Chain A
Amino acid sequence: MEGLNHFPEALRESARLVVKTRESRLTALRRGESYPSLSLSDRRAWLEEFHPDYRADSCRPLTLGPNQGDLVPCELADLLESWPRHAVSRHFALSRRSHSAAEGDPSALAPFSKQVKADLHTDVLVIGGGGAGTTAAIAAAEAGAKVLIVTKLRHGDSNTIMAEGGMQVADQEADSPVQHYLDTMGGGHFINDPDLVESLVSDGPRVLRWLEELGMLFDKYPTGRMKVRHGGGTSRRRLHASGDVTGLELMRVLRDHAESFANIRVLPFHPAVELLTDDNGRAVGAVLEHLVAGDRLPTIQVVHARAVVLATGGFGRLHFKKFPTSNHYGALADGLVLAYRAGVPLRDLRYCQYHPTGIVYPDRKIGLLLTEKFRGWGAQLLNYHGEEFVFGLEPRDVTSAAIIRECTEMGNGITTPSGRVGVWLDIPLIDLLHGRGTIEREFPGRFREFIGKGIDLRVAPVLTYPTLHYQNGGIAIQSDGGTDMPGLYAAGEVTGGVHGDNRLMGNALLEILVFGLRAGRSAARFAQNNGEGSNPGVSHLESFMEALHEKAAGQHRTSPRLLPSYGKSGLPA
Chain B
Amino acid sequence: MAGPKVATITIAFDGTEYTVSAGRTILVALEEAGLRFVRGVGCRGGVCGACTVLYRMRDAHPLVAGLMCQDEAKHGMEILSLPYIPQKKAVHRMELPPENSPEYQVLSLYPEVNNCVMCGECSRLCPVGIDVMGYVGMIKRGDLRSAAQQSFTCVQCQACVLRCPSSISQPNAALAARRFHGRYREAPAEHLAKALEKVESGHYRSLFRKVRRLSGVEFQALYQRREREPDDAPPGTWLPEDRSLI
A residues touching B (Cβ–Cβ < 8 Å)? 32, 40, 153-154, 156-158, 161-162, 169-179, 181-183, 185-186, 190, 194, 198, 202, 205-206, 208-209, 212-218, 220-230, 235-237, 242-243, 245, 247-249, 252-253, 256, 259-260, 269, 291-292, 326, 328-329, 363-364, 368-369, 378, 444-445, 448-449, 452-453, 563, 565-571
Once A181-B208, A185-B219, A452-B129 are accepted as A-B contacts, the answer to whether A220 and B189 lie under 8 Å apart by CB is: yes
Whether B152 lies near A221 (C-beta < 8 A) is no
Of all chain B residues, the one with the shortest Cβ separation from A173 is: B236
- CB of B24 within 8 A of chain A? yes
- CB of B93 within 8 A of chain A? yes
- CB of B63 within 8 A of chain A? no
- Interface segment, one of B10-18, B115-123, B192-200: B192-200
- Interface segment, one of B53-61, B160-168, B179-187: B179-187
Whether B92 lies near A181 (C-beta < 8 A) is no
A225: contacting residue among B50, B94, B191, B246, CB under 8 A: B191
User: Please, which residues of chain A bring their CB within 8 A of the CB of B124?
Assistant: none
B208: contacting residue among A32, A178, A220, A565, CB under 8 A: A178
Whether B229 lies near A236 (C-beta < 8 A) is yes
Whether B45 lies near A260 (C-beta < 8 A) is no
Q: Determine which residue in A181, A198, A259, A566 has the highest number of CB atoms from chain B within 10 A of its CB, and name it.
A: A566
Main secondary structure of the interface of A (DSSP, over half): loop
Whether A178 lies near B47 (C-beta < 8 A) is no
A248: contacting residue among B47, B93, B148, B226, CB under 8 A: B47
Of all chain A residues, the one with the shortest Cβ separation from B36 is: A565
Whether A174 lies near B240 (C-beta < 8 A) is yes
| Docked complex Cα distance between A209 and B118 (Å) | 38
Once A179-B245, A179-B246 are accepted as A-B contacts, the answer to whether A157 and B129 lie under 8 Å apart by CB is: no
Of all chain A residues, the one with the shortest Cβ separation from B180 is: A215
Q: When A and B form their complex, what is the total count of cross-chain residue pairs whose Cβ atoms lie within 8 Å?
A: 239
- Render B25-38 as a binary contact track against A, CB cut-off 8 A, 1 for contact: 10010011010111
A253 CB to closest chain B CB (Å) equals 6
- CB of B2 within 8 A of chain A? no
A335 CB to closest chain B CB (Å) equals 18
Of all chain A residues, the one with the shortest Cβ separation from B197 is: A205
| Docked complex Cα distance between A292 and B84 (Å) | 14
A178: contacting residue among B50, B89, B207, B237, CB under 8 A: B207
Beyond A226-B191, A256-B175, A568-B34, 19 extra complex contacts between A and B, CB < 8 Å: A153-B41, A154-B48, A158-B43, A177-B208, A185-B223, A209-B196, A215-B183, A224-B186, A225-B189, A225-B191, A225-B236, A253-B179, A269-B39, A329-B41, A445-B153, A449-B70, A563-B38, A570-B28, A570-B32
